[in-house]
Structure 1
Amino acid sequence: MGQAMLGVWLAHGPVLSVLLPSFTGIALLLLGDHGGMSGVGGGHATRRLAWQRRLSLVSAVLGLLLAIGLVWRASGGDLVVYELGDWPAPFGIVLVLDRLSALMVLLTYLVAVPALGYACGGWDAHGRHFHAVFHFQLMGLSGAFLTGDLFNLFVFFEVLLIASYVLMLHGRGKERLRMGVHYVVLNLTASALFLIGLAMFYAVTGTLNMADAAMQVAQLEGDALRLGQSAALILLVVFGLKAALLPLYFWLPGVYAAASAPVAALFAVMTKVGVYSIVRVHWVIFGVDAGAASLTAQPWLLPVALLTSLLGVLGALAAHSLGRLVAYLTVSSVGTIVAGVALFTPEALSAALYYTLHSTVVIAGLFLFVELVAAQRGAMQDRLQPAPAVREPALLGGMMLFGAASAAGLPPLPGFLGKVMLLQSSVGLPAQFWIWSVVLGVGFLSILGLARAGVVMFWHVQPPLLGDAAGTSARLLTAPLFFIGLTLAMAVAAAPIKHYTDSLAQQLTDKALYAERVLARQGGPGVPTTRPYDGRRPLSAPKPAAIQPLEDKLP
């Protein structure tokens, strides 16, 4: 019986990953509001909040277990296509589970569960409907990673963005409101551009299904080709803003530094949605063997990624608060990840994805650490200026040292391993010199910035020798310690994780398999051949035979 239930659970895993947080959010809304900061309702509101916490945490843990099951199922190499309403692709809505989508859903829950546990230490009581909105955010993230359709990628983008608007303002405050307005306006503009790009893309391909689009793009020529490439570049701008790439990263440091600690930790995954979308659209659809449209974004993507990484770390050096320093390191890490993606080789993509896991976990932990240390520095909080000494210098200093070593990529931590993989993957490519220079230089500058912050916070102290704040509670310490343990586990399990990301990168190059599974076609016309990109071949590839007319696809 238990094995049968597990089989059903995994068979419907893709849609359950979207429905579980959705139904949880609805149930939490039906439980009512606890009164937020006003404390209206007394003991009844306290009991209601306690039940909200229980339901929220149980659902998040179930989501984590489901995500682990999805990775286990995807690790075999087969693609799972879930047709909603039993309508076949490319006309019906499909969710597609492959190694990449499974990995990103797992990463989401690995960050969400400890962040939610941290919020239950008191942050969830500082505003209304925190837990419901948190799960709607998980719904949007999971849906964005699992959808097989570009329009539904837009839909899930909007779901997670609307939830993020509310989470950004959670706890109130003048600075939070000011940065929230910027955040909302920029993302509404990006959403409008997203729709324009999708309309242009649909005009020349007649489809928004990712598998079908990968075949249709290879046939573009003439004006249709130029329009399709324009749509691809518009989408690159949209995804670049979500991922915080140059010159569209300026919104992130202020927004992430102003958000509450658990929200900023969850937002560490948000930039990865932009990176994921770049991989899906520009690595797969407009990647190698896309005919004359092959590698449309490559001339732009690598220089932008390297400059993003460099300017991000320079911003960290100039930051006047620890929160902004960590936010700028987020920008820098995104640049490093996208640099691996922009090399368009399976080896570089594998390295970039390994580094994605590391950087997301470390950044999320650092955002929680920022609040822990700020709470013990009195009125100075996280500003990089001398203040009374913290009450737990050994504990917080050790956490700061570990976080700095992880973020800078010192051996033997996974950040070092990910950067070594990226450097090795660039050997022999035309961009090798720039990759090595930027990655190594950024690592060195990251050490300087974090060392400066550590010296100011733990050595340059003012009397009285101890701050007035109490020590950190065990509940609040659990989440950052979980991230530390997860970082160490990634270093110990580096070999199997790399094996998974290697297989993932190879799977993404196999467009024929993707089209066969999603569109239920057994090869034939329109299914492109796939070859790894060696960094030197011309950016155009021979076009496959003409695809079937649209009417031939109808059932």
Structure 2
Amino acid sequence: MSHWIVAPTLLPALTAAYLILFARNDIFHQRIVSVAATLMLVLLTFGLYQLAGDGESRAYLLGNWPAPFGIVQVLDRLSATMLLLTACLAFIVVVYAIHGWDRRGRYFHALFQFQLLGINGAFLTGDFFNLFVFFEVMLIASYGLMLHGGGPRRLKAGFQYVTINLISSTLFLFAVGLIYSVTGTLNMADLAAKAGQVGAGEVALLRTGALLLFMVFAIKAALVPLHWWLPTTYAAASAPVAALFAIMTKVGAYSILRMYGLVFGADAGPLALVAAPWVIPAAIVTLAIGAIGVLASRTLLDLVCFSVVASMGTLLIALGLFDEVGIAAALYYLLHSTLAGAALFLLVDLIAVRRGRARDRLNAAPPFPRDYVYGGLFFLAAIAMVGLPPLSGFLGKLLILDATRETAHAGVIWATVLGSSFLMLVGFSRAGSVLFWKSAAQPPQEEEEEPKRRVLPTVAAGALIAGMVLLSVFAGPVSRAVTDTAQQALDTRAYVEAVLGSIKTARATGH
């Protein structure tokens, strides 16, 4: 049992406590500790990713209490991939934030570390009750981060965000209560072993609990019709917070995969793939609404928010196949869309500051100095998000289209993916032409003082775009890695054996 498995939750928890107790009045001290801890998290998660590369699932039993009675964290390719992605994104975001955003509130870095605690815990936990606990840690920290800096707009959006998540948390408790009342367990491996053994009289009750839980995860993943909170919330948050939030919707997608690909997977008897009929239709509508939102947006920030909604629809179309090819395509697109969404949120902030009073409104304004730098970065991020060659968005959508080629919904999926890509192309093209071409024709306002050059934040945004370039250049190795990850994510037998041992494995698979 490797003790390093618990470190991605332990490190941010201890860092947050230290920041509150010993550095809350010293922003320079906070920055050093937060950046150093996040860099350590990158190195740590990279090591765990290498450890998980052998294809073996590893369970960490807290207090050495045996599962399913004790708390368990599980490391496999899927959780290791999500941990590494989160750590890399967090490091870039915290580097961006130390340029000034963290000064707008005393506890930014502590909340940032608590947010990482919740996200990492959600990716590692092996039971649904502790998934609820880590969800709450993540959400409480996100409330504080979203309100960071204050203002009526954030307060209003924060109220809506809190309300929808309180409803989500209540549904979560109802769902786990129903599941526990039928199976007597919330451990994922134990539940996978028992789901197919439930008596005929209790199948309906367990199905109700499973579908309630799907509603919770659908809210987190911004799946239609439960997506409406995302554009308002992300648009109100500060740029680094919105960029970090790009990984939060992926927590919902990850949970759907764990719950309905593993626990209620193909071996779950009458409850096999219980949520599968709902995922793809809802994802298609999510993609369509997101693309229409991009086309109709009047500000650059709204455009990016709706593009995130569209990207979640695209991702969940592939994930909803619940087969190896579909999940592999979804994981590749997940990596891409996280980087693309975060890069665009940071670029919106950079562009808005340079445009002065016009901010991010999509109307012509006087040009700003050296706009070719941000124009080039925006062009690359836009073609990546839309899915044009040669960047990773094009490859991700190509993998998804190929994965859905033989499905019953193939015609609708292809039409929606291609049609939405066209709408998003028009929307991003219109935004780029207004921001950079039409603005260039406006007379400059010399009385406005030129904003200071923001080198470090620009480098941070560029690093995210460079990540998408690397995803494209190394598409072959990355595709093989996500294919191996998808294969392991659907292997119920290996997961159950890693957590519970060979006896429960035999029960889960009928051997």
TM-score interval (norm. to shorter): over 0.9
Comparing 217-226 and 11-20, the one that deviates more: 217-226
**By how many angstroms is 1:523 displaced?**
6.5
2:2 is the alignment partner of 1:11: yes
2:348 is the alignment partner of 1:367: no
Counterparts in 2 of 1:110-259, with a 5 A limit?
110-259=88-237
Contact 1:378 1:468 in 2 (8 A): no
Task: Spell out structure 1 runs of 4+ moving beyond 6 A.
Answer: none
Gaps of 5+ in 2: none
Aligned to 2:493: 512
Aligned equivalents of 2:74 and 2:65: distance in 1?
Answer: 14
Counterparts in 2 of 1:465-480, with a 5 A limit?
468-480=449-461
Aligned equivalents of 1:298 and 1:225: distance in 2?
Answer: 17
Aligned equivalents of 2:37 and 2:131: distance in 1?
Answer: 24
Letter in 1 for 2:172: F
**By how many angstroms is 1:471 displaced?**
4.7
Aligned equivalents of 2:321 and 2:417: distance in 1?
Answer: 14
Counterparts in 2 of 1:39-438, with a 5 A limit?
48-438=26-416
2:1 is the alignment partner of 1:23: no
Secondary structure in 2 aligned to 1:81? Answer: strand
Contact 2:195 2:264 in 1 (8 A): yes
Contact 1:309 1:438 in 2 (8 A): yes
Aligned equivalents of 1:444 and 1:13: distance in 2?
Answer: 46
Q: TM-score, normalization: structure 1? A: 0.90
Deviations 1:398-448 (A, max 9, x none): 011101110011112111111111111112221211221111112111111
**By how many angstroms is 1:464 displaced?**
2.2
Letter in 1 for 2:443: P
Letter in 1 for 2:10: L
Deviations 1:132-154 (A, max 9, x none): 11000000000000000110000
Name the CA shift for 1:124/1:524 in 2 (closer, same or farther; >3 Å).
closer
Letter in 2 for 1:248: L
Deviations 1:107-153 (A, max 9, x none): 11111101000000000001121001100000000000000011000
Aligned equivalents of 2:138 and 2:58: distance in 1?
Answer: 24
Contact 2:24 2:30 in 1 (8 A): no
Contact 1:283 1:341 in 2 (8 A): no
Letter in 1 for 2:444: P
Identity rate, percent? 46
Secondary structure in 2 aligned to 1:387? Answer: coil
Contact 1:375 1:469 in 2 (8 A): no
Deviations 1:457-490 (A, max 9, x none): 1122233267643253212212101111111111
Aligned to 1:521: 502
Name the CA shift for 1:149/1:523 in 2 (closer, same or farther; >3 Å).
closer
Contact 2:23 2:29 in 1 (8 A): no
Aligned equivalents of 1:260 and 1:447: distance in 2?
Answer: 26
Contact 1:269 1:360 in 2 (8 A): yes
Aligned equivalents of 2:232 and 2:30: distance in 1?
Answer: 30
Aligned equivalents of 2:426 and 2:300: distance in 1?
Answer: 14
Comparing 506-515 and 327-336, the one that deviates more: 506-515
Contact 2:194 2:508 in 1 (8 A): no
**By how many angstroms is 1:522 displaced?**
5.1
Q: TM-score, normalization: structure 2? A: 0.97
Aligned equivalents of 2:348 and 2:87: distance in 1?
Answer: 21
Contact 1:378 1:388 in 2 (8 A): no
Gaps of 5+ in 1: 1-9, 35-47, 529-543, 546-555
Contact 1:309 1:331 in 2 (8 A): yes
Aligned equivalents of 1:174 and 1:158: distance in 2?
Answer: 24
Secondary structure in 1 aligned to 2:247? Answer: helix
Comparing 151-160 and 508-517, the one that deviates more: 508-517
Name the CA shift for 1:499/1:445 in 2 (closer, same or farther; >3 Å).
same
Aligned equivalents of 1:513 and 1:76: distance in 2?
Answer: 13
Aligned to 2:421: 443
Deviations 1:249-280 (A, max 9, x none): 11110110110000000000010011111111
Contact 1:133 1:163 in 2 (8 A): yes
Letter in 1 for 2:411: F
Aligned to 1:537: none
Letter in 2 for 1:526: R
Letter in 1 for 2:21: L
Name the CA shift for 1:428/1:363 in 2 (closer, same or farther; >3 Å).
same
Aligned equivalents of 1:74 and 1:222: distance in 2?
Answer: 38
